[in-house]
Structure 1
Amino acid sequence: MNFSNKAYNALKWIVITVLPATSVFVAALGYIYSWGNTDAIVATLNAIAVFLGATMHISSASYNKKEGE
């Protein structure tokens, strides 16, 4: 699976910046305000980040292999 440069850069920004920041933000507010299921929400955000990161890695490896030919 290959992404366009624009899609790859957008996905990279989401995986590296947005999802971790959102996860920490939810964890902090959940602790401060005693929200229920905060751990489940944080775990879900982190699982999404890891899944998208793995998808990006596959795309990057495929792209680099194609460029090497």
Structure 2
Amino acid sequence: MKFSKNTYDVLKWVAQFLLPAAGTLYFALASIWNLPHGEQVVGTITAVDTFLGVLLGISSNTYYKDLKNL
């Protein structure tokens, strides 16, 4: 599995910045404003972020293996 450069860059930004920031924001606001299911929402965001990180790692490894074989 190998993503295009543009797809990889966007997904990496989502995984490194957007999802962790969204999870932190919801967790903080849930405790301040008594929003529902804070732990479940943050747990879900964390699980998706971890899965995305694994996919990005696989894509990166495939890319570098392909470079070595050139």
> Same-fold call, TM > 0.5?
yes
Report the identity percentage.
35
TM-score (norm 1): 0.97
> Offset of 1:48 from its aligned partner?
0.4
Aligned to 1:16: 16
TM-score (norm 2): 0.96
> Offset of 1:36 from its aligned partner?
2.0
> C-alpha distance in 1, partners of 2:62/2:2?
7
Could you tell me which amino acid in structure 1 is paired with residue 44 of structure 2? T
Residues 1:41 and 2:41 aligned together: yes
Aligned to 2:61: 61
Kindly tell me the number of residue pairs found equivalent between the two proteins.
69
> Offset of 1:34 from its aligned partner?
1.2
> C-alpha distance in 2, partners of 1:22/1:36?
15
List runs of 5+ in structure 1 lacking aligned partners: none
Aligned to 2:50: 50
List runs of 5+ in structure 2 lacking aligned partners: none
> C-alpha distance in 1, partners of 2:22/2:57?
22
